[in-house]
């Protein structure tokens, strides 16, 4: 049986989540999860985003998945959409890169140029 | 694909693309019978008879980004490589169910892999979709469902907690048995 204090704590954190989720700040992280993405490791990338967002309590950020966008050889592909900013496309993403994207781009506000599609193309 | 659970994540992507509101993954392990049955079922828009007939063909896709569709063909192949079989049923407007049955001892069978990771990834990325896992092994079973969790609580933290809970229950059910 849970104590009243525990129940109260759960209720409070739920209420907190609800307001934050309603106040969704429009940031969306989208992971390519078609066959090509999954075969290249997209599931581990998605769960790395999940864990990093959970740990940092970034519940105003939406995490979603998408199908194949026609660049199978560059999977896992991740797009970061933010209102007022151009979409940033990251290619060949690993779980470690995903955690860094959360810290530096989502939290810190600076996209990681060396991971992007435009950087990859310029090489 | 290195894991059967990865095929299941991929087949569930088809369900999401078909607009499913509910997706059920099931895993049934029967060590005595040397059988493993996995299935993905959805209530999405389904397929017409022609699409259903051709969907296991790798050159068939309704995607526009790429001209081949591989998901179903690879799931089917993974079952057949173990000496097992594959079936897919679909009805327009009602949904689709894809089932891959494996021979556990089949030498070319891929490992089942992490069902908890597959469920967590789906739960994390699709807060508006209800997911169920039905898991049974050698006479013991459990089910996990997101249905009772309101949208506002479907946070990354919820998905991470779901992953832990599912893994714990899978471990409980399998006891000390060798993972398959
Ligand atoms: N659950 C489903 N509901 C409705 N249609 C489906 C479903 N699963 C597959 N289909 C149809 O069958 C086609 C083939 O599916 P398959 O997974 O093999 O390839 P794909 O999804 O097109 O591409 P890929 O999986 O390689 O990213 C799909 O394009 C879709 O038209
Ligand atoms: Mg597919």
Is B180 within the bounds of a domain?
no
Q: State whether the beta carbon of B6 lies less than 6 angstroms from ligand 1.
A: no
Number of domains in chain B: 1
The protein residue whose alpha carbon is closest to atom 31 in ligand 1 is B62
In CATH, what number is assigned to the domain containing residue B8?
3.30.565.10
Residue A99 falls inside a structural domain: yes
Is position A87 within any domain? yes
- What is the whole-number distance in angstroms between the Cα of residue A114 and the centre of ligand 1? 33
Other CB atoms within 10 A of residue B91 CB: 14
Decide if B62 touches A, using CB distance below 8 A.
Answer: no
Residue ranges making up the domain that contains A58: 23-122
Q: Residue A83 in contact with residue A26, Cβ under 8 Å?
A: yes
Backbone φ and ψ for A46, nearest 5 degrees, come out as: -65, -45
**Domain-located, residue A15:** no
Cβ atoms of residues B106 and B84 within 8 Å: yes
Total domain count, chain A:
1
Distance A30 CA to ligand 1 centre (A): 20
Residue A12 lies in a domain: no
CA pair distance B13, B16, nearest whole angstrom:
5
Q: What does the pLDDT profile of chain B (180 residues) look like in tens digits?
A: 899 999 999 999 999 999 999 999 999 999 999 999 999 999 999 999 989 988 888 876 776 666 667 899 999 999 999 999 999 999 999 999 999 999 999 989 999 999 999 999 999 999 999 999 999 999 999 999 999 888 888 999 999 999 999 999 999 999 888 889
Atom of ligand 1 nearest to the CA of B60: 14
ipTM for the assembly: 0.94
E strands in B31-71? 35-42
Suggest the residue from B3, B13, B114 to mutate for an interface test with chain A (most A CBs closer than 10 A). Answer: B13
Is B179 part of any domain? no
Domain membership of residue A33 (yes or no) is yes
């Amino acid at each position: 049986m849970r104590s009243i204090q525990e129940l109260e704590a759960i209720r409070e954190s739920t209420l907190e989540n609800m307001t934050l989720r309603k106040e969704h700040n429009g940031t969306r992280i989208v992971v390519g999860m078609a066959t090509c993405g999954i075969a290249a490791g997209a599931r581990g990338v998605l769960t790395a985003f999940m864990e990093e967002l959970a740990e940092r309590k970034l519940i105003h950020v939406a995490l979603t998945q998408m199908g194949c966008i026609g660049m199978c050889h560059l999977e896992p592909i991740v797009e970061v959409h933010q209102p007022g900013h151009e979409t940033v496309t990251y290619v060949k993403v690993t779980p470690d890169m995903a955690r860094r994207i959360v810290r530096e781009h989502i939290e810190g506000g600076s996209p990681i140029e060396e991971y992007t599609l435009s950087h990859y193309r310029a090489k | 694909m290195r894991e059967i659970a990865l095929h299941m994540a991929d087949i569930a992507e088809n369900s999401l693309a078909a607009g499913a509101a509910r997706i059920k993954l099931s895993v049934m392990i029967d060590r005595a019978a040397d059988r493993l049955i996995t299935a993905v079922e959805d209530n999405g828009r389904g397929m017409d008879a022609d699409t259903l007939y051709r969907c296991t063909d790798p050159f068939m896709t309704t995607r526009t980004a790429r001209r081949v569709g591989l998901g179903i063909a690879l799931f089917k192949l993974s079952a057949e490589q173990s000496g097992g079989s594959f079936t897919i049923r679909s009805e327009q407007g009602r949904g689709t169910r894809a089932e891959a049955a494996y021979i556990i001892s089949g030498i070319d069978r891929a490992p089942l892999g992490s069902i908890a990771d597959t469920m967590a990834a789906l739960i994390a990325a699709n807060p508006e979709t209800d997911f169920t896992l039905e898991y049974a092994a050698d006479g013991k079973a459990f089910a996990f469902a997101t249905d009772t969790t309101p949208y506002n609580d479907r946070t990354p933290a919820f998905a991470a907690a779901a992953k832990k809970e599912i893994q714990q229950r899978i471990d409980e059910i399998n006891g000390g048995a060798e993972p398959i």
